[in-house]
Amino acid sequence: MLEAYPHNRLARIVLWGFAALVMAFLMLPTLVVVPLSFSASNLLEFPPHAYSLRWYENFFGSATWMAALRTSLILGTLTALIAVPFALLACISMNRLGGKTAAAIQSVLLTPSITPGILLAIGLFFVLAAQRLVGTLFGVLVGHVVLAVPVACIVLLPALARFDWNQVQAARSLGANWARAIGGIIVPQLRISLLSATLMAFLTSLDESVISIFVASGRNSTMPKLMFVSLRDQIDPTIAAISTLWTAIVVVVVLMVALRQKS
Amino acid sequence: MTVTPDPALAADARRERRFFLSLSLPALFIVGLAAILPILWIIRQSFLTTGGEYTVGNYAKVLSSGLTWSALVTTLELSLGTLAICILLGTPLALALASVRPRVANVLMAFVMLPLWTAILVRTYGWLVLLRRDGLINAALTGSGLTAEPLPLVYNFTGTLIGMVHYMLPLFLLPVYAAMRDIDQNLIRAAASMGATFEQVMRTVIMPLSAGGIFSGSIIVLIYSIGFFITPAVLGGGKVNPLSTRIERTLSTFQDWGSASVLGILLLVLMALIGVMLLAARRLLAQNTVDASHA
């Protein structure tokens, strides 16, 4: 973009120096927890004087953390399994209807993603309290699904816009019903986008914290809720171990999606 | 020539439309159940006493409390502060990324997006470790002799602001970077060949053409900052209380559902006000662009 100004070296050096600092700022907190998680000390010393796996052992040996991990994985899976089909159907509907109707549906579906999490959380808490459902897996699940639907829609809408609908027309004219057309033609052709949407929905649920903090409790506490509670009380290096594992998993998942989309 | 629509075909088309509409129902139902109903419930709850009778007492109580107004001020300070720093840090970074080859930029973008993919509590923990009294940053500051005493960087406004900027910056960067990538390179070459200096190109070509991206990025930052909860709750250490943490405390500690709901409604009103201002600003921006093209 700035190749027309090759002689302006000073401006370029200043710009890149600044950019490098901002990028370091962005990556620093994610990277700093990795060496800490392998520290042998229970002080947060940096760099650690001795290394060990004790904080990982602490995590995997703790019944509370393991229960939270289990809850989070179950919730993430259920969220993806519910949100992605709902989003796919809604995207087909928006794509085929077009115009104002589609725009109206889209703006309703995107509402949860622009509503402050704290409002969704306390509102959901009131609704669930009235039904005596606070602390149940169901309560957190509906909260996560409603956040994952817009995320999945953002992935699936452009994919459907590129889709060649003549194939469905052909199948329909040969006697396939809609269920068959969706299951036999749309789903297989969109499989990469559907996989991305599934992973994104899963990550959305895994990372969601505000609704969990208000609505989940006891055995149904999620990982973020437990991390939030322990961050408020003390800074235990066990959280460094969890953070490192978590980031590693997310990086692997994101790389998988990125590489798949490229191929 | 006019074609008389076949009534059977028209009925078919209507039926198909109904069918496509029905495909949206599951998603719309869940949004209604888990997002719209809860918001309506907050409105209802704001008019209820603990006993379940109708009252406007919650409003009187919350609006006459000094804590509410200081929470409102903190909310605005945090949001606008975050936005200002995002613009200052994000715009040059976007410019740098947009000025290299796409292949290189994509790799660098992956690093920029790493925090976006890192769980919010992981990042908050990272900042806690970095900013504590005996944390890495204070160790570096005192070790290098820049400061004699460790600086209070966390459990206060500074720490909250740092955490919030860190969360919002990638969200701000994406639309700005996209807008700068879309600038026609020939415009810059033309300006350069006509003798425009680097500063003139920045001011008259690059900045006006990225204004749309900066505007979208600012909307995203404001919308997310206004109700942000986790960062103030952890990095603020109880001393920084925007509306979001005030809501949580009113609900969890004081069990005052009515007042918590009124605070929630205040947050909704703030969102609506910002939405209206942004729409007006966008209209003004569009008008200016039209004027510029006529000039």
Q: Which positions ≥6 away from A254 have C-beta within 8 Å?
A: B117
Q: Per residue in B130-167, pLDDT tens?
A: 998 888 888 888 888 888 888 899 999 999 999 999 99
Nearest to B154 by CA among B245, B81, B235: B235
Q: What's the mean pLDDT in A117-144?
A: 93
CB contacts of A199 in chain B (<8 Å) are none
Is it the case that residue A208 has pLDDT exceeding 80? yes
Q: Tokens for A84, please give them.
A: 């992605």
CB contacts of B27 in chain A (<8 Å) are 86-87, 89-90, 109, 149, 153
Nearest to B157 by CA among B68, B245, B239: B239
Q: Which of A46, A90, A228 sits opposite B230 (nearest CB)?
A: A228
Cβ-based contacts under 8 A for chains A and B: 263
Task: Inspect the interface and report whether the beta carbons of B34 and A120 lie closer than 8 Å.
Answer: yes
Among A26, A154, A253, the strongest candidate for a mutation testing the B interface, having the largest count of B CBs within 10 A, is A26
Predicted confidence at residue B293, as pLDDT, reads: 46
Is it the case that residue A261 has pLDDT exceeding 70? no
Q: What's the mean pLDDT in A97-117?
A: 91
Nearest to A97 by CA among B273, B148, B19: B19
Is it the case that residue A216 has pLDDT exceeding 80? yes
The C-alpha atoms of residue A46 and residue A32 are separated, in whole angstroms, by 9
- Other residues' Cβ atoms within 10 Å of the Cβ of residue B284: 10
Q: Which residue of B has its CA nearest to A145?
A: B30
Burial class (CB in 10 A: 0-12, 13-18, 19+), A245: middle
* DSSP codes joined into one string, chain A: --TT-TT-HHHHHHHHHHHHHHHHHHHHHHHHHHHHHTBSSSS--SS-SSB-SHHHHHHHH-HHHHHHHHHHHHHHHHHHHHHHHHHHHHHHHHHHH-HHHHHHHHHHHHHHHHS-HHHHHHHHHHHHHHTT-TTSHHHHHHHHHHHHHHHHHHHHHHHHHHS-THHHHHHHHTT--HHHHIIIIIHHHTHHHHHHHHHHHHHHHHH--HHHHHH--GGG--HHHHHHHHHHH---THHHHHHHHHHHHHHHHHHHHHHHHH-
CB contacts of A1 in chain B (<8 Å) are 95, 98-99, 180, 183, 185, 188, 206
Q: What's the mean pLDDT in A105-110?
A: 93
Q: Which residue of A has its CA nearest to B91?
A: A19
Amino acid identity of residue B89, one-letter, is L
| Conformation bin of residue B195: beta by default, left when phi > 0, alpha when psi is -120 to 50 | left
Q: What's the mean pLDDT in A84-97?
A: 94
| Chain B contact for A68 (CB, 8 A cutoff) | no
Q: Which pLDDT band, with edges at 50, 70 and 90, does A41 fall under?
A: confident
Mean pLDDT of chain A: 88
CB contacts of A29 in chain B (<8 Å) are 115, 118, 122-123, 125-127, 129-130, 166
CB contacts of B92 in chain A (<8 Å) are 15, 18-19, 22
Show the low-confidence residues of chain B (pLDDT under 50).
292-295
CB contacts of B33 in chain A (<8 Å) are 142, 146
Predicted confidence at residue B1, as pLDDT, reads: 52
| Chain B contact for A117 (CB, 8 A cutoff) | yes
Question: Which residues, numbered 20 to 49 in chain A, qualify as contacts with chain B under a Cβ-Cβ cut-off of 8 Å?
Answer: 22-23, 25-33, 36, 44, 46
The C-alpha atoms of residue B155 and residue B136 are separated, in whole angstroms, by 16
Is it the case that residue A118 has pLDDT exceeding 60? yes
Q: Which positions ≥6 away from B34 have C-beta within 8 Å?
A: A112, A120, A124, A142, A143, A145, A146
Predicted confidence at residue B129, as pLDDT, reads: 87
Amino acid identity of residue A224, one-letter, is P
Predicted confidence at residue B112, as pLDDT, reads: 86
Task: Inspect the interface and report whether the beta carbons of B128 and A231 lie closer than 8 Å.
Answer: yes
Q: Per residue in A12-36, pLDDT tens?
A: 888 899 999 999 999 999 888 888 8
Beta-bridged to residue B48, according to DSSP, are B54
Task: Inspect the interface and report whether the beta carbons of B228 and A92 lie closer than 8 Å.
Answer: no
Is it the case that residue A236 has pLDDT exceeding 80? no
Q: Which residue of B has its CA nearest to A149?
A: B27
ipTM of the complex: 0.88
Q: Which of A122, A209, A243 sits opposite B125 (nearest CB)?
A: A243
Q: What's the mean pLDDT in A150-173?
A: 90
Q: What's the mean pLDDT in A146-154?
A: 95
Which has the higher per-residue pLDDT, B288 or A175?
Answer: A175
Predicted confidence at residue B178, as pLDDT, reads: 92
Task: Inspect the interface and report whether the beta carbons of B271 and A116 lie closer than 8 Å.
Answer: yes
Predicted confidence at residue B3, as pLDDT, reads: 63
